[in-house]
Amino acid sequence: MRVCVLGGTGNISSPMVRLLMEVGHEVTVFNRGQAPGLPPGVRLLRGDRSDRPAFEAAIQNEHFDAAIDMICFNAEDAASTIRAFRKVRHLVFCSTVCTYGVQYDWLPASEDHPLRPISDYGRNKVAAERVFLEAFYRDGFPVTIIRPSTTFGPRWNLLRQIAWEAAWVDRVRKGKPIAVCGDGRAFHQWLYVDDAAPAFVFPLGRDRCVGQTYNMMKQEFGTWADYHRTAMSVIGRTVEMVGVPLATLLAAGVPNVGICETIFSYSTIYTPNRLMRDVPEFRPQISLEDGMRRVLESMEREHRIPDSDKEDWEDRLIAAQRAVGEIKLTPAP
Ligand SMILES: NC(=O)c1ccc[n+]([C@@H]2O[C@H](COP(=O)([O-])OP(=O)(O)OC[C@H]3O[C@@H](n4cnc5c(N)ncnc54)[C@H](OP(=O)(O)O)[C@@H]3O)[C@@H](O)[C@H]2O)c1
């Protein structure tokens, strides 16, 4: 099939584009051309989707059988994608589990769980999903919605629970303690990007996937405290973890704490059973440890590990927490 990927050089979409080529599709990526290193044979259609008239005209001039939209973040983007790809036989839209919010009626959450997003990101993805589903039910627009949970890879830095930042890797190397949120017991699921690619590639052209919404994550889950213990074994040094309540992290103004506030401080467990039923090729195989090792290698290769001595917020936070008493963390299993 002639497949267009909106994005295509990102964290999730890079391995997806490689897999599309491997299974024999003719692949075009639409992006601004800022990332180097497209795989041989992939065609670049350069453009900015935020210029909607130009984007839609560029796509309408082409002939694609299918498309994957990795950069749709709101209802207006979704409506624009539908206008651009009105002739495709199948379109996969990348949504997010942030559509569910953090208050669950049952766990693991399945696709029919109520959506109660708490962030603008989640609310806007819900609005985009509604535009696509309305087009499906009203006009038969052939959409499939994928809701990934945390999907990590070498284009990112090694995640941590309390913030979007990478200097913690250097803290571990230097033997400094690190902060985690609360008692470290919040559950989470981590999927490596190579394992995600089949979830986007194999639904294409598969009738039973049209009109469906799928969670995408590993079935297995763990606590953030265990996540950090695993990361320490990969980094090669064990340091103390100090539990800090979310309210303190927020009051202390931890830089880039938003990811913790809106999702990583909560126990979030979802089921990918529906995806595994309809897309049996989706069978995650890469362990958390192996995935972390690959991310760490890319951070080292690209000199992306910041020097933790250049900032002191975490030392101050940990000292303040110790002064009022420590939260007891769950022991290692
Ligand atoms: N990773 C996760 O844990 C997770 C979880 C849930 C949902 N998601 C969803 O996954 C998607 C992100 O996928 P990804 O990781 O492959 O993306 P990414 O790493 O954010 O990369 C973005 C891609 O889109 C292109 N791009 C960005 N802005 C553009 C624009 N205005 N016009 C044209 N191209 C543009 C970029 O290339 P240029 O810069 O060259 O344009 C690049 O190819 C998002 O929809 C996100 O909501 C991710």
Q: What is the pLDDT of residues 44-76, one digit of tens each?
A: 999 999 999 999 999 999 999 999 999 999 999
The answer to whether 127 and 74 have CB atoms below 8 angstroms apart is yes
- Same domain (yes/no): 145, 209: yes
119 CB within 6 A, ligand 1: no
Distance from residue 1's CA to the centre of ligand 1 (Å):
23
Task: Find the CATH number of the domain harbouring 54.
Answer: 3.40.50.720
| Per-position b or e across 191-205, b if 16+ CB within 10 A of its CB | bbbbbbbbbbbbbbe
Q: What is the pLDDT of residue 37?
A: 77
Q: What tens digit of pLDDT does each residue of 29-38 get? A: 999 999 987 9
Could you give the percent of the chain with pLDDT greater than 90?
A: 97
Residue 295 located in a structural domain: yes
Element (H, E) at 148: strand 143-148
Give Cα 191 distance to the centre of its chain.
Answer: 8
Total domains in the chain come to 2
Residue 15 located in a structural domain: yes
Range of 128's domain? 2-152+190-216
Q: What value, to the nearest 5°, has the Cα angle with vertex 218 and ends 226 and 332?
A: 15
Those residues whose C-beta lies under 8 Å from the C-beta of residue 151, and which sit 6 or more positions away, are 11, 12, 191, 192, 193, 196, 216, 217
96 CB within 6 A, ligand 1: yes
- Same domain (yes/no): 8, 78: yes
Q: What is the pLDDT of residue 14?
A: 97
- Same domain (yes/no): 198, 178: no
Distance from residue 90's CA to the centre of ligand 1 (Å):
20
Residue 278 located in a structural domain: no
- Same domain (yes/no): 59, 124: yes
- Same domain (yes/no): 29, 147: yes
- Same domain (yes/no): 175, 319: yes
- Same domain (yes/no): 178, 320: yes
The answer to whether 244 and 329 have CB atoms below 8 angstroms apart is no
Q: What is the pLDDT of residue 36?
A: 83
Give residue 55's identity as a one-letter amino acid code: F
Question: Which of the listed residues 13, 100, 126 should we mutate to test ligand 1's pocket, taking the one with most ligand atoms within 8 A of CB?
Answer: 13
Residue nearest to ligand 1 atom 36, measured at CA: 7
Q: Give pTM, 2 decimals.
A: 0.97
- Same domain (yes/no): 92, 123: yes
Residue 86 located in a structural domain: yes
- Same domain (yes/no): 198, 253: no
- Same domain (yes/no): 31, 173: no
154 CB within 6 A, ligand 1: no
59 CB within 6 A, ligand 1: no
150 CB within 6 A, ligand 1: yes
31 CB within 6 A, ligand 1: yes
Residue nearest to ligand 1 atom 35, measured at CA: 31
| pLDDT for 235 beyond 80 | yes
Residue 262's SS3 state is helix
